[in-house]
Structure 1
């Protein structure tokens, strides 16, 4: 049975609703990708999440939530002295900002036990991680984490990396540049955002971004640019530019996460790159027209199939 494993940190999400009220859920960049991938991949696929959580009530509730949505939690490690992180979304004209509480987050210990990490990544078909996955790890453990993924890649896994930059999680710009370069070096698929690449690396064009990650060994690169053109490149076909549909965003949370799921799931089920990228953009466009990271209505009412 083929499988898709996302690695990272799922958190308690507090998001705004009308009249100043909030709602509580569970979300996090790579978990969001797993959630959307579960809905896009056939039932013959297993979709799992690899992370660390606590033994407390909210950690157990999170694991139960994942299972209730069809996500396998056998790659979740429980740590008695930790819990899960929390974040709150603030919105301004559809753009979001975040406040975080993650000091006791168990996910930060993902690379403390390399043997466990090796065990849960061995023999996988697709492994997905992000810049946030790396950023929350202690700096000395990022190399350990990527070494394990490199071995999984050597064993036949397709490794996908969404650069997903959160500057506040990194100690310095130098650490960010080193971390993103390290993560991309063990990935077949790299999914950067052009505005972030410009700010961090000084890229003048998406082609500059492609060139850097291509030279680092990536086989497929999709450079997102918000509502602007998507530039895709593969080792075999070169680059192409695709135009997304124009929509008015309500909440851009999980735009990139859902895009990653749409692209990876579509490629895994036989779509060519242009069709997969078009489908991924369509999914992201639906997601940003609704509040919150996870939008089940897209699938329940048939607007996306």
Structure 2
């Protein structure tokens, strides 16, 4: 069984190859696998840790593509079911040279949005060291919100370490008020919460890292650590004992695509913890992989192998 476990919606992404052209005008696209939690599983596996992914796909070409990609990435798919009644989600993504790319989703009523909760009863949690959850799965449907809450409870009952990334996707929610309420409630169950600084403005009305950290530490006895992702500036860490640190970011000469950077941070942090690194060094690894992510066009193809990560971090130190 895997050391790492996550649940999410896998998607195919058709990413434009035409820089700074709108999705209306773009004519050339590349196909990648995507989905925030799947991105993290791919990165964790690429760095040599056993990862298990929970989800559902349709019986369609995108579903087959995702199943094939999971196998190639050596990610466990014992809990990825096929749904003959619903399709696999996908989305279109712009190619931009500055800022965040526009995206357009085709995922309503997808196979993942209709995930069968009985699958959770089959899961073997015995070897899991870290489980990573995000707010995206909860946004897909009321069914998936119930599933995520149930999985959260199973993980707590099993005494597993839970990381939570809000991963706000306003377009998927019925209202911003519901998104804020549910996302902050879900964060209460995590041992470690990792919001982005811009997410803090939405979720609690502040982009001050310490204010954001204090909010999540104060709202739950479970949460012992909050790491606020600061984008190119790195990350701010605050622990329940009051210790704080700011971890610097890594220099990036050319930004190709910002999608996947936050998930890259999660990859670095989680694998660092699995490797026994101190929290600050794990977060530093997270910053490195976030930087590598923005230099590649796919959501996760910039995530490194162990040798690539070592080389990048060594070069940046000089």
Assess same fold via TM > 0.5: yes
Q: Which of the numbers 183, 206, 222 marks the counterpart of 2:227? A: 222
Q: Which residue of 2 aligns with 1:187?
A: 190
Q: Which residue of 1 aligns with 2:65?
A: 61
1:9 equivalent in alignment to 2:9: yes
Q: For residues 183 and 2 of structure 2, what CA distance do their matches in structure 1 show?
A: 28
| Secondary structure of the structure 1 residue equivalent to 2:5 | strand
Q: For residues 208 and 296 of structure 1, what CA distance do their matches in structure 2 show?
A: 32
Q: Which of the numbers 26, 34, 41 marks the counterpart of 1:27? A: 34
Which has the larger displacement, 121-130 or 7-16? 121-130
| Secondary structure of the structure 2 residue equivalent to 1:76 | strand
Q: Which residue of 2 aligns with 1:295?
A: 301
Q: Which residue of 2 aligns with 1:79?
A: 83
1:109 equivalent in alignment to 2:111: no
Taking the TM superposition and a 5 Å limit, the aligned residue runs for 1:252-291 are 252-291=258-297
Q: Which runs of 5+ in 1 are unaligned?
A: none
Q: Could you give the per-residue CA deviations for residues 116-142 of structure 1, whole angstroms, max 9, x where no partner exists?
A: 22432643322112111111122x652
Q: Could you give the per-residue CA deviations for residues 210-247 of structure 1, whole angstroms, max 9, x where no partner exists?
A: 11111223122110122124101223462211111232
Mapped contact 2:132–2:164 kept (Cα < 8 A) = yes
Closer/same/farther in 2, CA of residues 250 and 175 from structure 1, 3 Å limit: same
TM-score by length of 1: 0.90
Mapped contact 2:135–2:168 kept (Cα < 8 A) = yes
Deviation of the 1:296 alpha carbon: 5.4
Which has the larger displacement, 263-272 or 195-204? 195-204
Taking the TM superposition and a 5 Å limit, the aligned residue runs for 1:128-277 are 128-138=132-142, 141-215=144-218, 216=220, 217-236=222-241, 238-247=243-252, 248-277=254-283
Which has the larger displacement, 268-277 or 203-212? 203-212
TM-score by length of 2: 0.87
Query: How many residues are treated as equivalent by the alignment?
Result: 298
Q: Which residue of 2 aligns with 1:47?
A: 51
Closer/same/farther in 2, CA of residues 58 and 289 from structure 1, 3 Å limit: closer
Which has the larger displacement, 230-239 or 215-224? 230-239
CA RMSD of aligned residues (A): 2.1
Closer/same/farther in 2, CA of residues 13 and 271 from structure 1, 3 Å limit: same
